[in-house]
Amino acid sequence: MPSPEVEVLSANEAFYEAFAKRDVATMENLWSERNDIACVHPGWDALLGRHKVLGSWRAILMSPEAPEVVCAEAKAHVLGDVAFVVCNEVLPGGELCATNLFVREAGQWKLLHHHAGPVANRVEVVATKTASKVLN
């Protein structure tokens, strides 16, 4: 039997697979039906409620301009029947840091909240840390 962390990472992978395949039905099935849900897409205001959150995913997945997103460095943290995954979303020309919050419903991990935002260019971050060490 897989550990809860492995189960959560599997649910997280299913989320990114639905994104990659532009699979609206699967995306909708991955989200909690028993709890309030929320989502913050990069540069957007917070979306609250099933209608707004799933409507945003339908629009994104059905758009020909939807970006190709690859999940990297996913780490799961399980707190009983709630869990979160912190990961990087690698896109052409950029990278986002994302947090995905899950809740266990009827034995399955369902999304409660997704939040993604840009990260600084890794070269710039390394250069800043190096300069800081030199100056201090």
Q: Is 134 a residue whose pLDDT tops 80?
A: no
The reported pTM is: 0.87
- Using one digit for the tens of pLDDT, what is the confidence trace for 28-84? 999 999 999 999 999 999 999 999 999 999 999 999 999 999 999 999 999 999 999
pLDDT at 108: 97
Q: How many CB atoms lie within 10 A of CB 33?
A: 11
Quick one: DSSP state of residue 16?
Answer: H
Q: What percent of the chain has pLDDT over 70?
A: 88
Distance (Å, whole) CA 123 – CA 106: 44
What architecture is the 4-135 domain classified under in CATH? Roll (3.10)
Confidence of residue 122 (pLDDT cuts 50, 70, 90): low
- Buried b / exposed e over 93-124, threshold 16 CB at 10 Å, is eebbbbebbbbbeeeebbbbbbbbeeeeeeee
Give domain limits for the chain: 4-135
Q: Is 104 a residue whose pLDDT tops 90?
A: yes
Confidence of residue 114 (pLDDT cuts 50, 70, 90): very high
